[in-house]
Structures are given as structure tokens and as C-alpha cells.
Chain A
Amino acid sequence: MTLASILIQLLNGLAAAASLFLVSAGLSLIFGVTRIVNFAHGSLYMLGLYGAYSLIEFFGRTPLGFWGAVVLSALAVGLVGILIEVLVLRRIYRAPELFQLLATFAVVLVIKDIALFTWGAEDLVGPRAPGLSMAVEIMGRRIPAYDLLLIAIGPVVLGLVWLLLTRTRWGALVRAATQDREMVGALGVDQAKLFTSVFFVGSVLAGLGGALQIPREPANLELDLAIIADAFVVTVVGGLGSIGGAFLAAIIIGVAKAFCIGIGTVTWFGFEVSFSKLTLVVEFLIMALVLVVRPYGLLGKPQAAQRAAEPAPRLQVPSWTFALVWLVLLALVPLAADRYTTILLTDIVCFALFSVSLHFIMGPAGMVSFGHAAYFGIGAYAAGLLMKRFGLPMEAALLLAPLVAGLFAIVYGWFCVRLSGVYLAMLTLAFAQISWSIVFQWDSVTGGSNGVFGIWPSGWLADKTAYYYLALVLCGAGIVFLWRVLFSPFGYALRAGRDSPLRAEAIGIDLRGFQWAAFVLVGALAGLAGAVYAFSKGSISPSSISIAQSTDGLIMVLLGGVETLTGPVVGAAIFTWLRDVVARNTEFWRAVMGGVILLIVLLFPQGLVGGLKALVARWREQRA
């Protein structure tokens, strides 16, 4: 690279960072105050683009029309944010931690279909900014004038947000709530109003980030998920709640990407290294590095201790009779139902073990994982590759796969248990994404983006019913084992660590060691679920290790209820079944799915099983 191209790539990186910063700043603000992991933030960004497109078409392509549209679109997105907060989130602030994530996930589905309905499926290429459509020549290279404007807008917005936060009463309240929201409430501040206003400001920032992209990015339906992961990464790398940190992180990531592209392919010691392929994962590499070195991000502070409103309720083991009845019923299904029911149940059984293993770590062990698909996927790939590349019999591959997943969990877990809260969750996501990108790129071994094919079970398991029984036995045993472990001294130690790390350490529990062991245990069992899944499908693709798969796990756990043991199983069953039924019958199935989840969220804020238990308890009380 010459000096000129280095400079230009630097400017490119800075321009790309601008919108990323706006979106992340909004996310950071919302998370800081409300502690909500807002999946729908990317959807707000997408709406910002669509809104700006329509408004410019309406006002005309004049400077006033363009900028008026950008501002109005951002404000309109702010109103959508208010709607989401008032109609949905406000009703579930008291729900167990992370439950709101489920609601925002449903909102993503609904908004996506609304956008499809309103704007259609075709990409909408917006106009260039009037008056800024030309390029500026710098050192013999041309760079769009609009990019230079974006580079300037970033710091301006940073300054404005900083003023808002430090020089206004509202800002003082926001900072106070970020530090200790219970205390702010106790001092008589109307939390509902504060939350709504924060949601508005955060959403406006997301909408503005989107609207400003209109000359650079066609409005399309994939934008929401394309930006949300990056926005989370920026927020966490910068340090949660730190706007300055988000700015810094956005620049680091934007510039790093630009340089990966600028460097292109180089040859080192006879090996070709393609830096441009690194763009797939570079933000996650940066996040992993930053979190390993600085556990609270670049400019973040340790999270203030949250006082749990109510301690998590006691876990109840399902009784042996209850378990036996279900087991017998499940074993009888293939005799009574058709072939497809058995196949659907095989899926459900795999996902049940996957979600129970996730629940083990995020519920009782108190370590949320956003990247649990890593172990599911590694298990699946290990099973497939051991059979295809090493020629092992299918049975051996199936039993060895969990060990491989466990090995990876040993490495990943070692780093993760050093962190806590959302930082830990995001580090698990980073590892999952790094694994995904390796699988995705390593064509000669993993089959790259296509995956591995022709991994069907041995003859005696080829029959779908036989395979269902195998899945039922293996996954059922895995689930029972995990439940048993929760009531062993090991399980109690983990729960002690979740409820009070200080006291746990004081009475001599090697908390980190225990948590590490828990990681390895659930990693291996998620790997088992993945291996069973792989052989039931006959093929395995990078989707099994993707963010979508991790998210599915979270949705299953939360849908069923994170504070119960059977919840994750019920969640896995309901979610898989719903998707099967809903996707079959309706054109706008995503919106229907989102609507159903929202309904469940609002009716059962403790998840399905949690809610049912509460209902039963209340009914018993009334009778007594």
C-alpha cells in the first residue's frame, strides 16, 4: 500500500464508522439505563433507511427534501421506539433478566414483515445527497464528498450526546440510572418516563444512523441483522454505557475493516494470506482480543452490582413418575403418529438438549452465552468430519463428537469465565463467530459455505423411528444427567456463585474452576445434541454454528422460562413446533411467529412453564 492509499483507506474506515457509531451509541444508551439487550435496534436502523427513502421520494430530491427526510425519518423511528417501549417492554421490566430479549426478538420478526409488506421485496437504491454527489480529489484519489461529511457528523453527534448527558438534568438522570437504577427509582424519579425518553433518544440515533446511509446503502430487508451484531460488538468493545468508548470502538472496527480490504492478498513465506476474507470476522477478533485484555471494554467500568429484585426461585426436580410418564408417551409416539411426527420430534429432542445445556449455564450457573451454537455446531461438524474424513464408523463419530466440542469448550471457557454479565456473553459470541468463520472458509476440510454432505446414520439406524429412539435415549440421558448435576454439590456451588460470588469464594469454593468445568460440561452436551442433529439431517452446514442458531437457543430457554428446569424443554418443543406450523400456512409467517411470541411474552412474563406454575400456585392459594 502506498501512503496515498493508506490515507484514503483511513478515510473510508472513518466514513464507515460514522453510522456504526450512531447506531451503537443508541444501543449503549438504552442498555445502560434499561439493561435491555435490544435485538430490535437493527430493525430501527433499517426503518430509518426505508423511511428516508420514502420521504425523499415524497419531498423531492432537493437539499431541503433530502435533509428534511433524514431528520424526519430519524424522528419517526424515535416514535416507533416509544411504541415498542410503551406497548411491549414496559410490561415486562420485572421479568427475569434477559427476558426482554425475547420480546425484542419478536419485534424484529414483526418489523421485518411490515417492511416487506410496505416497501416490497426489491432493493431500494436511494438518491445521492443533493449537492454532495461528487467526489473530492485527495492525493490523486477520489473520495465521495458525502463520506467526508459523514466523517464530520460522527464527532458532532458525539459532542451533542455528551452535552446532553453532562449538561442537562435528563442527562444526569440517565447517568445515574446507568450506574444504579434502583437508587434512582428510590429517589423518586419516574422511571417509566425516563425509560421511554431514553428509548426515544436511542431509537432516534439508530434511525439517524440508518437515514444517513441512504446515499451509500440500498434499503433492503437484510439490514437489520447485518448491523445488529456489529452494533453489539462496538458497544461492548467500547464499554457498555460509554458513548466515547462506542465512538472509539466504531473507528477501530471501521478502520480495521478498511485496511483488511486495502491490504488484500499478500504472500508471506510462500503462503497466500487473503486479508480481504478476514472482513468476515475481523470485528469479532477485535472484540475477543479487547475483552481478554480489558474485561470491561476499552472505556467501560465494572458494572454496578445489581440488587436482584427477588432471588431466583428454588428449582424443582420433576418427579420420577412425571418423567416416566413423559418418557413412555414419547416412546409410544411412533406407534401412533405418522412418519413426519417422528422426524419433527427428533428435531425437538435435539433442540431440547441444546436448550437445556444452554439453560444450565445461563440459568443456575449465571453465565449467559450468546454463542452456544459454537458447541452445537462443532459437535455436528466433528461428527460429520470424523466419519467422512477419518472414516470412523458412524457410532464412534457420534460418541466422540461431544468430546471434541468439550475440548473447544475447555479453550473458550477458560477465557470466558474471567468475565461476567454481558461481556461474558459477548465473548462467547466472539468465539462462536470465529469458529463459524473458520468453518465457513476452510473449504478443503469443512466444505466451506456448503458444508459436509452424505453423513447418514448406519444401516440399523436408517429407519427414522429407530433413529428417533436413539435421539430420545441420548438426548434424554443428557438432559437427565444435567438436571442431576444441578442437585449435586457441584450444582449447588454454581448457584452459590451466581447468587453471591463473594460469599461463595469466602467459603472456599473455587468459583472460576467450577464455572470452567460447567462450560466444558455443557459444551460437550451441546456437542452431543449437534452430533445427533447432524446424522438426522444427513448434512451439516455453517448455519448450525451461526448467530441464528445461538439465538434460537436463547429464544427456546426464555420462551419456556429460565427459572424452571422443564422450561427449556417446553420452549424447544413449542418453538420448533410453532415454526413448523406457522411457516407452513402463512405468507407473512415471520410476523405471525413474532406476534405469537409477543403474546406469550405479555401473558407469561416468566416464560410458559414459569407462568403456568405461577397460575397453579395462585389457584392452590385461593382454594386453601
Chain B
Amino acid sequence: MLTRNRLLAGTAALVALSLVGPAAAQAPIKIGELNSYKVFPAFLEPYKKGIELAVEEVNAAGGVLGRKIEVVSRDDNGNPGDAVRVAEELLSREGAAFLIGTFPSHVGLAVADFAKQRKVLFIAAEPLTDKIVWDQGNAYTFRLRTSTYMQTAMLIPDAVKLKKKRWAIVYPNYEYGQSATAAFKKLLKEKQPDVEFVAEQATPLGKIDAGAVTQALADAKPDAIFSSLFGPDLAKFVREGQTRGLFKGVEVFNLLAGEPEYLDPLKEESPEGWYVTGYPWSELKTPEHTKFLNAYQAKFKDYPRLGSVVGYATVMSAAEAIKKAGSLDQDKLVAAMSGLKLITPFGMIEYRPIDHQSTMGAYVGQIGVKDGKGYMKNWRFVDGKDALPSDADVQKMRPKN
């Protein structure tokens, strides 16, 4: 019998279906992602896994705006020209709502400029260059990762505490190394005016002549060394330096060296006592990290690297931005990104309205060796917002749009 209740229930179901049905059947929201997968595979393979995990979680929770999300990835070959082309392909052919990704500074900056021209949102995942949010910052570009300046600033308190006078510096000769060096010299000089920089070695990326560099640094008789080497360069420098006794009685600071991507290959030779920024994944006990860690290990049977966190947090930022904007309109997305807060495996971050830099922090600590493996000891978490210059300084650097 057709009762009123059944009629009501039926109508309700129909209405619900008409609402959910077409929505569920709607094509997923595409997010365009580009990166130099083949140029920096050690960082970007875990990064890709982080992306996959985030997409899965977002969709399992019902997606955004009633639609699932899909990340469409492209390889930009580490070349800005190619990057701009694939970015265009993602937008015009794939119909991507906006762009995320990139690794090297020059590619990130090129895509940022493209985003400004094309008036689309771009969330730069990894490029560390300070310029992307400051000197070359623009309205459409946001950056997730803790920048060169921030990571350098995080190491400064320890450096000042040691009261070392003679510093030697070694860095890979391109944007990242150059700006890390400049920031370090400036910040240390401010806190410790009598500091002396006794040697400076700029080595070609991936081609450090480690023996000669070690010798040249040793000749300068430094009390401490600041390095921004990573990858194979770092491994070579560590080995030569240890064999030649460069690090005896010398304190060493090295950006990024605590990231599993660069620390793990060193195994039993991991340099004890170095001050580094990094990611002590096995020791973090915060609920948000534990949840991420468990999900990651369940899905990939592998532990996360820093790249995994970056990939994961980038997609999460993208999803939250869409949710907050409530539409895919670029102006609304950009407005939503500005001041967007979300929980990442590293805790709460905010994309600062003033310069579009996220306040994602980093872990600062010292390298220790246990069971033939390097790990981070005495570590502490530094929130990104405590490592940024004053608002007045930021406004001075960032062009007014």
C-alpha cells in the first residue's frame, strides 16, 4: 500500500539521489601536478607516494565539493621551458583546476611567473628559493615548504650559542646554496658581529671535488663549517672530511642533511654531532604524524621520507583550498589559500596572507649513529612562523601587486 510515509521516504530518496547521484557521477576535480621526477628521483619517488596517499584519503572522506579529486602528474624534465609547456597542457587539455608541484628553484620560479600571467593558482611544493614568495612573489603563487631562509634561520640559535669565530662555508653553486650562504652570513653577523668567514667554496652541483674542497677548508683552519650540500655531494664531502680529519674539533652545520633522503645513504658513516635540519620520522609521536605514518606504512610497506610529507601536505592544502573556496573560480581559490590553515603531519600550518609562505616548520637537531644507521638526536621542532623575518622586512622585499 502506498502510505504517506512510504511516499515521503520514496520522495526523499529520489531527492537524495538526484542530489548525490549526478554529483557522484560527476567527473573528478583534476589538479595539475608537475615535477622533475627523473632529475631528482630520490626525493620525488617518495613525494609521489605522499600524493597518492593524500588523494586516497581525500576521496575516502567524500572528496571535495561532492566530487572526487584526481592529481594528474607530468614530468617537467627539470627544464623551465618544458615546465611551462606541460603546465599549459595540464590547464588547457587536461582541464586541471590549478597547478601544484615543482622541485628546483628555476623551474618553480618559471611556473610561478606563468601562473601569474595565466591567473591561476599555483602551490609550489618543494622549491626552497626565497625569491618565490619574496623578490619574485606574486598574487597567484603560494609555497608550502620551509624555505632556505627559514631553515637557515632555524640553525642560527645553535650556531650563535657555540660562539665560534672562524667559519668556513661550502655550498652547491646555484640559487639554493647561494641564498642559504647569504642568509647564514647575514643572520650570524647580526647576532655575532665579530664572526669571521675564512673560506668559501662554491662547488658545481653533483660534481664536488670533495678531496680538494676538504683540503682547502682545512687550510683555512675554521672553528666551524656551514654547508648546504645534499645528495651525492654531501656523501662525498662527509667521507673525505672524515678520512682527512677535517671535522675533528670543528662544529658542522648542514642544511637538509637530516632528511632521510640524504641521511640514510650515509649509513654507519653518518657524521656524529652535525647540526642539521631534517625529519626524524621514527621518533615523532604527535597524533597527526602517527596517523600519517601508519597510513603510509600500511599502503606502501615503506617508511616515509621528507618528500612523502611534502607531497601529502601539498595535496591536502589543495583539497582544503577548494573546500574553503567552495568553487573552482581562481580568484576564490587564491582568496581561500590566503590565510588557509590546515593540519599536516608536521602540525598546523598557515599560508600567510602577507607573503603566501606556509608556516610549515622543520626539525632541527644533531646527527647520531645507532645500529649502523644515522638518525637525528636532541631534535626539536621549530615552527615556521618563528623563523621568518619581520613583516616590515617581508613587505620591503615583496613587490606590491
| Residues on A facing B (Cβ under 8 Å) | 1-2, 5, 8-9, 12-13, 15-16, 112, 116, 121-125, 128, 133-135, 141-144, 147, 215-218, 220-222, 226, 257-258, 261-262, 264-265, 274, 276-277, 279-280, 338-340, 343-344, 347, 440-441, 443, 448-451, 453-454, 456, 533, 537-544, 548, 579-580, 583-584, 589-590
Contacts beyond the supplied A116-B38, A216-B210, A274-B202: 14 A-B pairs with Cβ under 8 Å: A9-B215, A16-B212, A122-B42, A122-B261, A216-B236, A262-B216, A264-B201, A264-B220, A340-B89, A450-B105, A450-B109, A539-B113, A583-B75, A589-B75
Q: Would you call B103 an interface residue if the criterion is a C-beta within 8 Å of the partner chain's C-beta atoms?
A: no
Report if A5-B219 is in contact (Cβ < 8 Å); known contacts: A217-B232, A451-B80, A584-B74. yes
Question: In the complex the two chains form, is B88's CB within 8 Å of A277's CB?
Answer: no
Tell me, rounded to whole Å, the shortest Cβ–Cβ distance linking A16 to chain B.
Answer: 6
Mind listing 24 A-B residue pairs with CB under 8 Å?
A16-B209, A112-B38, A121-B45, A122-B265, A123-B42, A128-B239, A142-B245, A216-B210, A218-B232, A218-B265, A258-B209, A264-B201, A338-B92, A343-B85, A344-B89, A443-B178, A449-B105, A449-B175, A453-B109, A453-B110, A541-B110, A543-B78, A583-B75, A583-B86
| Residues on B facing A (Cβ under 8 Å) | 38, 41-42, 44-45, 74-75, 77-82, 84-86, 88-89, 92-93, 105-106, 109-110, 113-114, 117, 129, 131, 136, 173-175, 178, 199-204, 206-207, 209-213, 215-216, 218-220, 231-232, 235-236, 239-240, 243-245, 261, 264-267, 269
Question: In the complex the two chains form, is B235's CB within 8 Å of A218's CB?
Answer: yes
Separation of A542 and B244 alpha carbons in the complex (Å): 35
CB neighbours of A216 from chain B (8 A): 210-211, 236, 239-240
CB neighbours of B261 from chain A (8 A): 122
CB neighbours of A2 from chain B (8 A): 219
Separation of A540 and B42 alpha carbons in the complex (Å): 27
Report if A144-B204 is in contact (Cβ < 8 Å); known contacts: A16-B211, A347-B85. no
Residue in A218, A221, A261, A339 whose Cβ sees the most chain B Cβ within 10 Å: A261
CB neighbours of A339 from chain B (8 A): 88, 92-93
CB neighbours of A5 from chain B (8 A): 215-216, 219
Separation of A442 and B232 alpha carbons in the complex (Å): 26
Separation of A226 and B245 alpha carbons in the complex (Å): 28
Separation of A274 and B203 alpha carbons in the complex (Å): 11
Separation of A59 and B178 alpha carbons in the complex (Å): 42
CB neighbours of B109 from chain A (8 A): 450-451, 453, 539
Report if A226-B207 is in contact (Cβ < 8 Å); known contacts: A122-B261, A142-B244. yes
Tell me, rounded to whole Å, the shortest Cβ–Cβ distance linking A355 to chain B.
Answer: 15
Separation of A220 and B40 alpha carbons in the complex (Å): 10
Residue of A nearest to B238 (CB): A125
Question: In the complex the two chains form, is A258's CB within 8 Å of B212's CB?
Answer: yes
Q: A-B pairs with the 5 shortest C-beta distances? A: A121-B41, A449-B174, A261-B212, A258-B212, A539-B110
Selected contact of B85 from candidates A141, A147, A264, A344, CB within 8 Å: A344
Looking at chain B's contact residues, is the secondary structure mostly helix, strand, loop, or mixed?
Answer: helix
Selected contact of B110 from candidates A144, A262, A451, A589, CB within 8 Å: A451
Separation of A590 and B269 alpha carbons in the complex (Å): 33
Question: In the complex the two chains form, is B215's CB within 8 Å of A141's CB?
Answer: yes
CB neighbours of A220 from chain B (8 A): 42, 231-232
Question: In the complex the two chains form, is A279's CB within 8 Å of B209's CB?
Answer: yes
Report if A450-B129 is in contact (Cβ < 8 Å); known contacts: A218-B232, A261-B209, A543-B80. yes
Residue of B nearest to A255 (CB): B212
Residue of B nearest to A217 (CB): B236
Tell me, rounded to whole Å, the shortest Cβ–Cβ distance linking A117 to chain B.
Answer: 11
Residue of B nearest to A137 (CB): B245
Report if A123-B232 is in contact (Cβ < 8 Å); known contacts: A261-B212, A451-B109. yes
Question: In the complex the two chains form, is A12's CB within 8 Å of B243's CB?
Answer: no
Question: In the complex the two chains form, is B243's CB within 8 Å of A142's CB?
Answer: yes
Question: In the complex the two chains form, is B215's CB within 8 Å of A262's CB?
Answer: yes
CB neighbours of A124 from chain B (8 A): 265
CB neighbours of B218 from chain A (8 A): 141
Question: In the complex the two chains form, is A537's CB within 8 Å of B81's CB?
Answer: yes
CB neighbours of A123 from chain B (8 A): 42, 231-232, 235, 265
Separation of A217 and B243 alpha carbons in the complex (Å): 14
Question: In the complex the two chains form, is B110's CB within 8 Å of A340's CB?
Answer: no
Tell me, rounded to whole Å, the shortest Cβ–Cβ distance linking B182 to chain A.
Answer: 11
Tell me, rounded to whole Å, the shortest Cβ–Cβ distance linking A188 to chain B.
Answer: 46
CB neighbours of B92 from chain A (8 A): 338-340, 343
Question: In the complex the two chains form, is A276's CB within 8 Å of B201's CB?
Answer: yes
Question: In the complex the two chains form, is B209's CB within 8 Å of A257's CB?
Answer: yes
Tell me, rounded to whole Å, the shortest Cβ–Cβ distance linking B76 to chain A.
Answer: 9
CB neighbours of A217 from chain B (8 A): 232, 236
Report if A264-B81 is in contact (Cβ < 8 Å); known contacts: A218-B265, A340-B89, A340-B92. no
Tell me, rounded to whole Å, the shortest Cβ–Cβ distance linking A560 to chain B.
Answer: 21
Question: In the complex the two chains form, is B173's CB within 8 Å of A280's CB?
Answer: yes
Tell me, rounded to whole Å, the shortest Cβ–Cβ distance linking A115 to chain B.
Answer: 10
Selected contact of A261 from candidates B41, B206, B216, B269, CB within 8 Å: B216
Separation of A324 and B45 alpha carbons in the complex (Å): 48
Separation of A443 and B129 alpha carbons in the complex (Å): 14
